[in-house]
A and B are shown apart, each in its own frame.
Chain A
Amino acid sequence: MHASLIQTLGLINCAVFQRQEDQRFTLLEGNHDWLKPLFEYEITVDTYTLEDKSIFLDDFMIDAVDFWENSKAKKSCNDNQIKSGIWTEITDGGELYLEAIAAIIDRQQILVINNVAEYYSQQKETLQIARELLISNDEIVERHDYLSERIRSILIETAQSGLGLPLHQAIKHADIGVIITNENVESLEINPAARDIFDCSKSKSEKNILVIIESLIKRQHHNTSEIFNHPNPWSGELYWHAPPTPQKWLKLNINPVFNDVGKVSYWIFTISDITRIKYLLQTNEDLALHDPLTGLPNRQYFWQELQKQIKKRQAVTLLSIDIVNFRSVNELYGYLDGDELLNQMVKRTSAILTNGDFMTRVGADEFMILRRRPKGSNENEYEQSILRLSDEIVSMSKQALFTKSDRKCVLPVKIGVSHFPLNAINAEELISCADLALASAKKSMSKDIVVYSEKLKQASQRRLFLENALKNAIEQNQLEVFLQPIFDIESKEVIKAEALLRWHLNGETISPVEFIPIAERSDLINTIGRWVFATVCDIQVRLSEQGVKLPITVNFSPKQIYDLHLINFFRHQIEEHHIDPDLLELEVTEGVLINNYNKVKLFLEEIKDTGIHISVDDFGTGYCSLSYLKHLPIDTLKIDRSFIEDIDDNEDDRAIVNAIIAMAHSLNLSVIAEGVETQAQQQYLIDHKCHIAQGFMYGRPMPVTDFIANIQNNNQHQGKH
């Protein structure tokens, strides 16, 4: 688990702590030497407090504790960690550059202290240059302003005598180019620096320089008449390229000088060559604002861009993209290959983007694409173009990529889409809409692309509402166990029952299909799972009081495997209720078996030890093989209802059903058909030697009292015959 956390976060040199119930910490991993001075060499003890070691860390811990203890209540499901930001810690071993991360992983409260020395020095280097450039840029601005101001005051002082010596001296040695013109923008003075910039020897006409400048402004900015007819200061950058002179970036300021009566008497041009700054700024900006692995804009840059568009009220669409199961790719192929594959995936995707699309890497395997809606475009056509783009990205992602060592790998993606201003009023909201759509796509088996809609929001609000309400469901007696008969077609007797959970909330009965996944996202599933088991034990007691001896099966959620003391709880319940464990059975789904073979095998064996039986639910939907099943302590296979449903007219389904029945017989397992609703289905099962069935034909799930009444009825009935 930690290994994968560390991988996901891309951490290398870090220490991982787990927070205990007593609020002390144990070091799980990363007993680095650099930690020792921070913890005053206490690192040998088993658990310790992290208080008073670092002022910065103490402060972050307030947020961290709040996150650990309250994050469950928080809405957003992808906030599974918070970061402190980088800080410098001064220890007697020197300066440490650290970042702390609080996370919840597998329900454990984890604190990571990450030594970011390398990132720090890289970042420092990049930003040092970038910021120095910003400063020198500011300095140039300041120097232009200063020089203009100086010239202006000389011009005003010497207004009577015309352009004279003082002015000449002021500009002769300036390293900024200066051109002074009359009110008609005809050049009066040009200093040597200005000549140098335009590579003019003395012989070249001075007029020429002004012509160049004016035409550059015209082409790259706007009409010069706008500047000179409305006498305001103007400043801008010009790109000048006149071979053989190397291309140049120039900074130009133009300032009018007014005479006593408020009319322009002179124009002052100041010019400097900013090519070097411009170039360095650009390369550094690339470093500071791009993801080093993929070269894509990073989160910070993306955010700026998104906000810029939204500020302009530009309609945009956001695609939030996630690679399915990328974590396992990293685990399977290792980091370097994982990185290589990511790079290929990005290249491939960028190739289909159009000019102006903005793609960014926001997380290890998460990307976003920002597309602007062209002005005046038809809404329908635009939406179609977005769908085409998404489709193309998805279908491309299903084509194989190859690692350097030529190993084949597929990186399928899921996409969530949101629109501004349709879905959101600001950038945060737009991102969270796209993320919500993405979350829904990730959950869906069939859909790879989900477009955000009001309905999606309502569904997520309902989930939140249910999640909150579910916490009190047991206390408020809202949960009820129903029983559905399992029927022996030959003997026409109920031989078993399945316990099915119902939730009554404010007059509405909520199906487990809806609320069990919600419970599974939190610890609630354990509580509910235990409650169902205990309730079924109660029911067994009731049944035996009525003289009914009938096994009851209980559904088991995959998440309950992590409930460490579950088996003890089972044993305890069985003893306390004095019931025969033969009358209890757990239904595990096929998916559980495949995903965690070793862990599940151990778990099932322990269950078997208690005497409880085990059946495999929804069988046929996963890919369990015979050899696989052979080694697991299983008693029964339940054929998934989807195969029975179409048994009359779907040959494939019939083949699967036959195979399952054969498999069960050869392994000496009993087999139950689920979802039997028609006479024809029943006949098929009889013909193929499956004589135990469950379905509306034999009875719907019903309250326990009804169930008992029914059984007694049925038995009397049977007795009469």
Chain B
Amino acid sequence: MGKTSLIKQFVEGIFSEKYLTSIGVKVDKKIVSGGYTPVQLLLWDLEGVDRYTGFNPRYLRGCSGIIFVADTSRFASIPEVMELHDLASEHTDAPSILAINKSDLAPSINWCEDTVSKHTACFKKTFRTSAKTGSQVNAMFEAMSQIVTME
């Protein structure tokens, strides 16, 4: 999906093609000073939820916002994200953003924009990001910092 890549692009300005799976949680910090007052974001990069690793609601406690990451090149990532969104909303009211990542790639042949737009209402905002080119990455994290300071 590109969760780790998005954070890396945002915090360090680096992108790597090589896929390195995440294990557990890694916390990064970055100060965002786009708004009136600088906000320190504590970014929790979670291991993806799949057949090998379950969903752990403990990580949601105390969170101020959630970024759900989907993948342009894999339409199945949309229903997957929605399932996670529903799971998460059982545990937190934190506002969320949808990042449809890998916007540098051609969309999946199955991509269905109508379905996507049906779901975007569940999120405060939706961004088409690319961790590779950096497109919309800062914009998305800045939007997140604004959303969490407003809440």
Contacts and interface: CB of A to CB of B under 8 A. Distances in A.
B109 A149 contact: yes
A138 B20 contact: no
A85 B59 CA distance: 9
Interface of A is mostly: helix
Given A128-B20, A134-B50, A142-B74, A85 B25 contact: yes
A298 to B, nearest CB: 11
B58 A63 contact: yes
A233 B120 CA distance: 29
A614 to B, nearest CB: 50
Contact of A288 (B26, B52, B56): B52
A516 B38 CA distance: 59
Contacts of B59: 85
Interface in A44-69: 55-56, 59-60, 62-63
Interface of B is mostly: loop
B42 A55 contact: yes
B50 A131 contact: yes
B16 interface: no
A145 B52 contact: no
B121 interface: no
State which size class the interface on B falls in.
20 to 34
Nearest to A144: B109
Contacts of B26: 87-88, 90
Interface string A411-432: 0000000000000000000000
A62 B62 contact: yes
A55 B51 contact: no
B21 interface: yes
A170 to B, nearest CB: 15
A142 B73 contact: yes
B77 to A, nearest CB: 9
A37 to B, nearest CB: 16
A133 B40 CA distance: 37
Interface in A67-113: 84-88, 90, 97, 99
B52 A86 contact: no
A304 B51 contact: yes
B88 to A, nearest CB: 16
Contacts of A718: none
A88 B24 contact: yes
Contacts of B118: none
B24 A86 contact: yes
Contacts of A99: 24
A132 interface: yes
25 contacts: A56-B27, A59-B61, A59-B62, A60-B58, A63-B61, A85-B25, A85-B59, A87-B26, A90-B26, A120-B23, A120-B24, A124-B23, A128-B21, A131-B19, A131-B48, A131-B50, A132-B19, A134-B50, A135-B19, A138-B74, A138-B76, A142-B108, A146-B109, A149-B109, A289-B52
Interface of B: 19-21, 23-27, 29, 42, 48, 50-54, 56, 58-59, 61-62, 73-74, 76, 108-110
Closest 10 CB pairs of A and B: A86-B24, A88-B26, A87-B25, A145-B109, A128-B21, A55-B27, A146-B109, A131-B21, A288-B52, A87-B24
Interface of A: 55-56, 59-60, 62-63, 84-88, 90, 97, 99, 120, 123-124, 127-128, 130-132, 134-135, 138, 142, 145-146, 149, 288-289, 300, 303-304
Given A56-B27, A145-B108, 6 more contacts: A56-B25, A86-B23, A88-B23, A131-B19, A142-B73, A300-B52
